[in-house]
Structure 1
Amino acid sequence: MKAEDSIDLTRVGPGTVMGEYMRQHWLPAALSSEVATDGDPMRLLILGEKLLAFRDSEGRVGILDHRCPHRCASLFLGRNEESGIRCVYHGWKFDVNGKCLDMPNMPEQRDFKEKVRAKAYQTAERNGLIWVYMGADQKSPPALPHIEANLIADSEIWCLQRECNWLQALEGDIDTSHVGFLHVGSLKAEDLPDDHPMRPTVLHRAPEYEVRATDWGAMYGGYRPNDDGQTSWRVAHFMFPVWTQTPNTKFASRAIARAWVPMDDNHSMLFDISGGTDEGNPAYIATRRTGEPLFEKFEYAPRTTDWYGRWKCRDDAHNDWGIDRDSQRNHVQFTGIANITIQDQAVTESMGPITDHAHEHLSPSDQMIARTRRLLLSAARAWRQNGEQPPGSKRPEVYMGARSGSFLEDRSIKLEDAYDVQLKKATRWTGA
């Protein structure tokens, strides 16, 4: 990869190629449960901008620049009261749209609150998730994207902060061959139930691939023979600009979407959203044939109020992500790390804050990663050069074409046909 390409892909602050492109999309910002009515304001760091989130007396969520436009004191110190956030320095008060409501330190005849606004971004809420739109045109934002998992009323959402660039975090989700090693490298086929979605991966750890560009981004299918004569498919997606759908779920009965939202160049926030008619995501509730869990749960570090204080894991680089060398040597876990999510966390954070792409040697197993990088570069530069709108902002329903998961099909069927067959049989959610 050229150095210029790497910079354009990974840097996300104001004025950068990728940062400005991402600002044309609605992005997940926080869980609805994180901000209470008239409760404490919360620091947010998104796309390199230091922001503040609060919920006013009417239940509306505001996301503002944390600096008061008077003297730049932080509104994080402010009082969330009576339908606005009041700066404790001089008492200036702002509503969720950034409108100045009060200047109590000014004589009435010198009041000019109608001329002052705090920088505020459009927000929306849907099924437990707060979204933010950070584009320049705050009066006419696009419609919320039709991300299927977020259209399920009782969907499960959890978050995790990752201390690395958003792109390398996202790319871990669209790399399917690592599963046979990083996650199940110590397992044998007989360790898993016959219908377990990871069993074919254990049988054949080196899949072949088909990759396709799509209206929403890109789709890939990792395929390998199953021991019953069928072909095992693991189908998943990249969706503009920060979304993945991973293939560890059961295709017919569960919708999943994972957003890798850049906090800044060196930190990202995962929003994992899933729901369905089955018992849950097999990747997180998987058991051996004996009923013993495949993976342990991870624990969050105590929450703090600083810019990086939310959704951090207890195990991180300071303790080598909790690696247990005896577990590794004795084939309990191939990595020696007990949780499947922290296994991913460890390898992506170990690459450094931003991967030095000059040291990579991509292989045929990295087709989806290479395709996704090219698509992102092309789309971001098209926006920068001629204002070409992202596909999801023009047609928010385009994302409904994507569904991921594992399934078995006749060995003669190609990716598109196998996908179409499974899509027709799957339970879908439209949010209607």
Structure 2
Amino acid sequence: MDPDLRGHHLRPRHRSPGAHRVALGEELPEPDCPPVRVKLLGECLIAFRDTKGGLGLIEEFCAHRGVSLWFGRNEENGIRCPYHGWKYDVTGQCVDLPSEPEESGVRKGIRLKSYPAIECAGVIWAYLGPADKKPEEPAYEWTRVPPAHRYVSKRLQESNYLQAMEGALDSIHSGFLHRHSVADDPLLKRDPSSLAMLLADRHPKIVPTVSPAGLYVATRRDVGTDRYYWRVTQWLMPCFSFFPPYGDNPYGGHAFVPIDDGRCWTFSIDYHPGRALTGAEREAAHSGRGIHVPLIEGSFIPVANKRNDYLIDRAAQKAKKTFSGVLGVGVQDAAIQESMGTIQDRTREHLVSSDNGIVKTRRLLMDAASAVARGDAPPGLAPAAQGARAVSMVVPRQMSLPDAVAMAQKDPAKTVSAA
């Protein structure tokens, strides 16, 4: 693999078009609240909400002597450095320099790097690309449902973002890694008809298909002599993945946002296009069930992490209470993905036919990185493309996969029932 392309493949370009998830809105709950540190694509930034409620995402370090503005005072429409009182607004412009006479005009020539930020669906988004290519507001389906219909969590993942994303697109692993883990989970439990069809065909076919948003990875199982059971996972470039529910469960998905080459933020999303989440579903997500994980209080660090071997329970593994010995679907995914190392050496892999979705994903990423390097726009920016939904359906064998996906996406009832 060309080293330049490999670098693009593992880390999106700083100046690429597209919005990045920066933080949860609740991290900046009110005007003039304390700022939060944000490390995004290797850049050290701070986010703050000014007196008028405006969002700022600026360089972390003061232009004077390099003090972290995280220690600053957020007041009167700006963040003030505690060292010498220099103050910056949400655009990064220095608006007060107390040690210099007002008539000197020095402050007018001092501006920190800043990026535009918005709040949408309870998440703060930032755009790091060229000003003339700024995208429209995110239009993913989960951002368009009422707040009562969704739940979003955030956690630290200590691996490269691509490693995490590939795990979300790998539908085969759930029959092993997550075995014995979903029966009593209110967010992931399978209805009897779905379970029967999953067990009916132990050798499903994986069909990756390029789409306007990126790629969908369809898993096909034979059910009877004249029907297929399809489960379609959506990859919305560059770092969103969504999978279909079983029965009337919420839809699930992740966004894997690079902090640097070796770590990412995982934003995990449950939502339902047709109804509000129940109290039991919301409580389950908050307590770390489903695709979410329990967090150390006051942080976004998982309770079960690599420093404590993810609290693996060998007795439970031996008793077949869990396949892996690790409790919780979200923790299981993190444990496996992080166990590969921060950046897994892909030259040592031995890929097989069930990995063709992963292979296609990598090729599309490299193609998109090359397109951005040429000045072209990557896939996934059009609002219409972002509305793609993960689906499951049972259809006649003669129906093409694109037709089946299009049909299911038009009818929400077909996407929440296996039969």
Q: Same fold (TM over 0.5)?
A: yes
Aligned to 2:410: 424
1:10-409 alignment runs, 5 A limit: 10=10, 12=11, 18-20=12-14, 23-36=16-29, 37-137=31-131, 141-154=134-147, 155-184=150-179, 194-195=191-192, 197-226=194-223, 230-248=227-245, 256-276=252-272, 277=274, 298-303=293-298, 310-384=299-373, 386-393=374-381, 395-400=382-387, 402-409=388-395
TM-score between both structures, scaled by the size of structure 1: 0.85
**Measured at CA, do residues 184 and 118 of structure 1 come closer, stay the same or move farther in structure 2, by a change above 3 Å?**
same
Deviation at 1:372, TM superposition (A): 0.9
Any conservation in 2 of the 1:187–1:202 contact (CA below 8 Å)?
no
**Measured at CA, do residues 40 and 392 of structure 1 come closer, stay the same or move farther in structure 2, by a change above 3 Å?**
same
Any conservation in 2 of the 1:100–1:117 contact (CA below 8 Å)?
yes
DSSP-derived class of the 1:377 partner: helix
Aligned to 1:15: none
Deviation at 1:194, TM superposition (A): 4.7
Any conservation in 2 of the 1:96–1:120 contact (CA below 8 Å)?
yes
**Measured at CA, do residues 6 and 203 of structure 1 come closer, stay the same or move farther in structure 2, by a change above 3 Å?**
farther
**Measured at CA, do residues 321 and 248 of structure 1 come closer, stay the same or move farther in structure 2, by a change above 3 Å?**
farther
TM-score between both structures, scaled by the size of structure 2: 0.87
Deviation at 1:116, TM superposition (A): 1.2
Q: Which amino acid aligns with 2:9?
A: L
Deviation at 1:269, TM superposition (A): 0.7
Identity %: 33
Q: Which amino acid aligns with 1:405?
A: V
**Measured at CA, do residues 175 and 280 of structure 1 come closer, stay the same or move farther in structure 2, by a change above 3 Å?**
farther
Deviation at 1:112, TM superposition (A): 1.7
Deviation at 1:279, TM superposition (A): 7.0
**Measured at CA, do residues 227 and 328 of structure 1 come closer, stay the same or move farther in structure 2, by a change above 3 Å?**
farther
Any conservation in 2 of the 1:164–1:267 contact (CA below 8 Å)?
yes
> Tell me, which stretches of 5 or more residues in structure 2 are unaligned?
184-188, 415-419
Q: Which amino acid aligns with 1:40?
A: P
Q: Tell me whether 196-205 or 66-75 shows the greater mean CA deviation.
A: 196-205
Q: In structure 2, how many angstroms separate the alpha carbons of the residues matched to 1:300 and 1:186?
A: 19
Q: In structure 2, how many angstroms separate the alpha carbons of the residues matched to 1:323 and 1:82?
A: 49
Deviation at 1:253, TM superposition (A): 8.1
Q: Which amino acid aligns with 1:388?
A: D
Aligned to 1:306: none
Q: In structure 1, how many angstroms separate the alpha carbons of the residues matched to 2:402 and 2:315?
A: 44
Deviation at 1:109, TM superposition (A): 3.2
Cα RMSD over matched residues?
2.8
Any conservation in 2 of the 1:26–1:132 contact (CA below 8 Å)?
yes
Q: Which amino acid aligns with 1:63?
A: L
Any conservation in 2 of the 1:148–1:255 contact (CA below 8 Å)?
no
Aligned to 2:396: 410
Q: Which amino acid aligns with 1:399?
A: Q
**Measured at CA, do residues 198 and 387 of structure 1 come closer, stay the same or move farther in structure 2, by a change above 3 Å?**
farther
Q: In structure 2, how many angstroms separate the alpha carbons of the residues matched to 1:332 and 1:177?
A: 20
Q: Tell me whether 412-421 or 85-94 shows the greater mean CA deviation.
A: 412-421
